[in-house]
Structures are given as structure tokens and as C-alpha cells.
Amino acid sequence: MSVPLYLDHAATSPIRPEVLEAMAPFLTRTFGNPSSHHTVGEAASAALEDARARVARVLGMRTGDVVFTAGGTEANNLAVKGIALAALPRGGRHVVTTPIEHESILESVGYLERFHGVTSTQVPVDDAGRVDPAAVAAAIRDDTALIAVGHANNEIGTIQDVAGFAAVASAHGIPLHVDAVQSAGWLALSDLGADAIALAGHKLGAPKGIGALAVRGRVPLEPLLHGGGQERGRRSGTENVAGAVGLAAALEQAEGERAEAAARVGAQCARFIAGVLAALPSARLTGDPVHRLPGTASFAFADVSGEAVLLELERRGVVSSSGSACAAGSDEPSHVLLACGLAPVTAQTAVRFTLGRAGLPDDGPERLAALVADAVAAVRS
């Protein structure tokens, strides 16, 4: 069986060989607990702090701002719940977000509403999934404790005006949390102006099970995990040293390649999009046609089942997805596409293609577009 063309990098990417090599010593000989006060533990602690400093440099934050987590979902939970809960004694009981956020943000806000009396405002998006910073400003109240938004959407790839959100947040003295799980390695993160930034290692070439939340020290944060006080009291539990080293290595490599990879993959993806729309005039590109991640292309194919198209594509050696892997198994149409104004029946035709940093072969965009057209035609017939 030939190796399939994997186009679901928004769900996860393979581990980079260089990252595995960097992690190996901390899975074998340098295995100590970084909280232990002996040479073995101190060696692990030194590696952990070095990884923390390297992540902080890419994000434009201080070393002490970086909290290692078990992934992007935990990072978003810690930011949303931790900042909002810390604000409750000071009267902060309101969160501003959008309807197209990752489930880890939306469900965290839902938890705060159910159990802590917090209220929220979801700022609407346009049909391309973009949010107007002026609408964010209009949603702010006297008791707003947090603004939580995604830098780039995981389903449609739309990039938000985070600088505009940061200006609004700063003017009102409200912390801004940015979910950068999808944008890391594709977009610059050092000048976002955010107070908290979430990352996930497995989108960058590090293993699953490691992530980070960088949250500025001035922002009060209630921990979700209590215990031994690791991570400066913000996230107790013995740290995943090897994972932290892997995340730092993957983030640095992705950042070093970012400008070149974004330009090259973006050009390939544009050719692919043009080919699909030319071959299938009834197809609709979802998300913003300009402000989008370089490697993301999501389509709604009229009058076909998106899941059926996925099966036909896999028969042709192409692995893609119908949307967020975190919603896998759900029969409900994408909440992102519904918020962008698509009818439920249309939203269920969606297929998402997300390229990795290696991109496609030289003739790949056109061949891929032809395979997509064949798959859709097979389903329709």
C-alpha cells in the first residue's frame, strides 16, 4: 500500500526527527525529577528552565511567564478559568469571546457560567469568520474580566486582527488571551500584545501531551491543578521535562522556517484552491480568502456528504478531515461554519485540507485539485 498524502496537519503533525533527538537524553539518562535536590534532579531542572526560556523568547515573553501544560486544551482551560476565577473577588464576572472558538475555550466559559455565575458575550463574526475589534470594544462591560480569542481558526484558517483586540484590551485594562495553537509556526507571535498565549506541541512537530501557556506575571491566575506548587504555583505536578525540551526545539525550528514556509506553502495552497474552484464551480471556500493560514483550505461542496467525500479521497490516497479533530464523532454541523452563516445542511458538506510545512510536490496542487474533483464527482454519481 502506498503512503497516503497526509493533509490533516491542523489535527496533528508528525514528530520532527530533530525533536526526538533533543528529547532522547531526558527520556533515558537525564531522567530526574526537576523538583529533587540532587545532581540528577538538578540536571533535569536546568533543562526545563532552558526550555522555558527558549519558548519565552519566541513568544516575546519573560521566562517566568511560561507554564508547561499537557497540551493546548489545558493551556486554554488554565487561561480562561484561571484568569476569570482570579478576577471574581475583584468583581470580574464577564468574559468576551466569539462563537467560532475552539471547544476548550467555549466549554471553559460554559463551566464558568454554570458553576460560578459568570456571564459571557460572544461577539459575532462575518461570513468569513472575522471579528471586528470595534465589536469587541462594544461588548466590554464594567465587570469584564477577560477577552479570549483565537489567533487563527482551526477549521477555516481565518486569521483575526489580534493587534486590534490587544489595543482594545489595553485601553480598558482587561487581559487578552490568544489561542495560538494553530498559528504557531505560521504567524509571528512575539508582537501580538497578548497577556496570555496558548500553544500545543503536536501541531509543531513535538509529541502529543505537551503544551504551554505563557501568561504575563502581572495577570492574576488561579491554578486548576493543586499540589506541590510546581511551575511557580500555577500548575502543580511533576513536569514533563522531555516534552518541554521537545516543545522548545519544535517551536524554535518552526519559527526559524516560518517566513519561507509560509510563503511557499501559501502559494501552493492558493494554486490548490484555484484548481478546486475551477473544477467545481459549486464549491465554496470557507473562511477569509485573504486573511487565512497559509496551509489551510476548507470547502463546502453543495449536495454531497462531506464524510462521503473524505472516504473517496482516502481511496485515492488523500487523508483530510471534515473539521476539528476535537469534534470527531459528532453528527452536528460545525459550530464555526454555522456562526459564519452557513445553513446546517451546507455545513455538513465541509472538507478541510491542512498542509504541513513541507508542503506539496511541485505539481501537487493541481494533482490534488483533480483528485478532489474526482472524489466529489464519485459521491454525486
> Catalytic amino acids?
326
Of 265, 240, 253, 273, nearest to 203 by C-alpha is: 253
Rounded distance, CA 370 to CA 189, Å?
A: 35
Alpha-carbon torsion (86, 87, 90, 94), positive or negative = negative
> Helix, strand or coil for residue 75?
helix
- As a whole number of angstroms, the distance between CA 175 and CA 146 comes to 5
Three-class SS state of 160: coil
Rounded (5°) CA angle 28-30-36 = 130
For the residues of 177-237, what is the DSSP string, one character each?
Answer: EEE-TTTBTTB--TTS--SEEEEEGGGTTSPTT-EEEEE-TTS----SS-SS-TGGGTS-S
Determine the Cα–Cα distance for residues 182 and 157; give it in Å rounded to an integer.
8
Sign of CA dihedral 224, 228, 231, 234: positive
Q: Tell me how far CA of residue 298 lies from CA of 223, 288, 340, 349, in angstroms.
A: 36, 10, 13, 10
Secondary structure of residue 86 in the 3-state scheme: helix
Cβ atoms 94, 232 nearer than 8 A: no
Q: Look up residue 216 and give its amino acid.
A: R
Q: Cell numbers of 11, please?
A: 489535527
